[in-house]
Structure 1
Amino acid sequence: MSLLFHFSENPTIQSFLPRLHPSHPTIAPAVWAIDEEHAPMYYLPRDCPRIAYYPREESSSEDIEGYLKQTRAKKVIAIESSWYRVLRETVLYRYTFEPGPFTCWDQGGGYYIAYSTVVPLEVQPMGDLLEKLMESDVELRITPSLTPLRDYLVSTTLHYSMIRMRNAKP
């Protein structure tokens, strides 16, 4: 396993303490990290609601064909238009972790958790987030509401991650 990452608008975190996850309250307090392949899902302001989706090995040929009719990007990430300005103004930092204390929580989404305090190897500013998304072969979609996309994706075999949806427009 290669290095893991955490993204934050706070550049001064010295160590990461296990905490409860608001979307997964049944999981013991943990430190969350993401692998490099899935890291672009976090090249956005922390509280920005987003939906990332892409084909996976188990996706149906119909869903893959439909995806490929829309884009040649590796992943699509959609955000609500009200978050565009925040995206342009946010300074984001990437924390890097050794994988040792982490175990895979969701391989399809690239999520890893550790149940003990984790000290980062380094912290680096991300720079221009739109540029980082483009460099990662991500198509960014900006839409007034994520709701239609959410409703559509749950009926497909595409992999999707719906992040911070509690902050999305109703």
Structure 2
Amino acid sequence: MRPRPGEVLHFSEDPDIRHFAPHVAATAQQPEAYVWAVDAARAPDYWFPRQCPRAMAWVEPDGRTTDADRERIIGPGCGTRVHAIEYGWLERIRAVELYAYRFAATDFRPFGTHRHAHVATRPVRPLGPPEPVGDLLELHRAAGIQLRVLPGLWEFWDAVTSSTLGFSGIRLRNALPRAAESAPPPAPA
């Protein structure tokens, strides 16, 4: 599920939104009110339940990604992109009903240095009714994107963020705590 040329998408679990009004998101790092959408390159970042923490990495198209990082993190012969989630979210990914709302890209502008995120500063209406996104696991498979299911995200996230791969983390505040933070204290001697 990606936007067609001249479109951007907004993904939601709510199939009944008729118009979108700019608002300041609870997780916003800026004070301005926006309606958010994404382009085709970043649409796969949102093929998840809204609150699902996920870490994503991809080979940079400009040649910045080293072969060593690609093989170490993505794996030999495993494509150019990997998404990682925690085991606790797998059933929710299988069961969620996710919808895509299509918008005219002309109603939005690229946001900051993140050229794949788009914002509108006035109310906007979708081009039509929301479309069911369908089976999220199949969507990943068909797009050639690895979906890795891990006990926790932090070890993977640390490897990705210190590599030459492109990366994004969404809803990481919902991830399980780092192993060192959740480990029991050592027993007294």
TM-score by length of 1: 0.90
Match of residue 168 from structure 2: 161
Which residue number in structure 2 is paired with residue 76 of structure 1?
82
- State the alpha-carbon separation in 2 of the partners of residues 74 and 149 from structure 1: 16
Alignment correspondent of 1:26:
30
Q: Does 1:38 align with 2:45?
A: no
> Quick one: distance in 1 between partners of 2:80 and 2:31?
30
- 1:47 maps onto 2:51 in alignment: yes
Aligned-pair identity (%): 34
Contact 2:70-2:76 within 8 A present in 1 as well: no
How many corresponding residue pairs? Answer: 170
- Asked if the contact 2:99/2:133 (under 8 Å) is kept, the reply is yes
Q: How has the CA–CA distance of structure 1 residues 106 and 139 changed in structure 2, closer, same or farther, with 3 Å as cutoff?
A: farther
2:124 to 102, 111, 118: 118
Match of 1:143 among 136, 150, 166: 150
Counterpart of 2:134 in 1: which secondary structure? coil
Alignment of 1:49-64 (within 5 A): 49-56=53-60, 57=62, 59-61=64-66, 62-64=68-70
Which is worse superposed, 14-23 or 29-38? 14-23
Supply the distance in 2 between the matched residues of 1:81 and 1:109 (Cα, whole angstroms): 31
Find out whether 1:91 has 2:83 as its counterpart. Answer: no
- Kindly indicate whether the alpha-carbon contact (under 8 Å) linking 1:38 and 1:109 is maintained by their aligned counterparts in 2: no
| Shift in Å, 1:106 | 5.6
8 Å CA contact 2:54–2:171 kept in 1: the answer is yes
Larger mean CA deviation between 98-107 and 63-72 belongs to: 63-72
CA distance in 1, matches of 2:31, 2:148: 31
AA aligned opposite 2:127 = L
Task: Give the residue type in structure 1 aligned to 2:162.
Answer: S
Which consecutive residues of structure 1, in runs of 5 or more, have no partner in the other structure?
A: none
* Alignment-derived partner of residue 19 in structure 2: 15
Q: Distance in 1 between matches of 2:30 and 2:74?
A: 36
Instruction: Name the CA shift for 1:40/1:145 in 2 (closer, same or farther; >3 Å).
Output: same
Q: Which has the larger radius of gyration?
A: 2
AA matched with 1:19: H
Q: Could you tell me how far 1:68 is from its partner in structure 2?
A: 5.8
Residue segments in structure 2 that go unaligned for 5+ positions in a row: 178-189
Alpha-carbon contact 1:32-1:112 (below 8 Å) kept? yes
The 8 Å contact of residues 133 and 140 in structure 1, kept in 2 or not, is answered as yes
Give the RMSD, CA atoms, in angstroms.
Answer: 1.9
Contact 1:2 1:35 in 2 (8 A): no
Cα deviation for residue 165 of structure 1 reads 0.6
Could you state the TM-score of these two structures normalised by the residue count of structure 2?
0.82
CA distance in 2, matches of 1:111, 1:150: 21
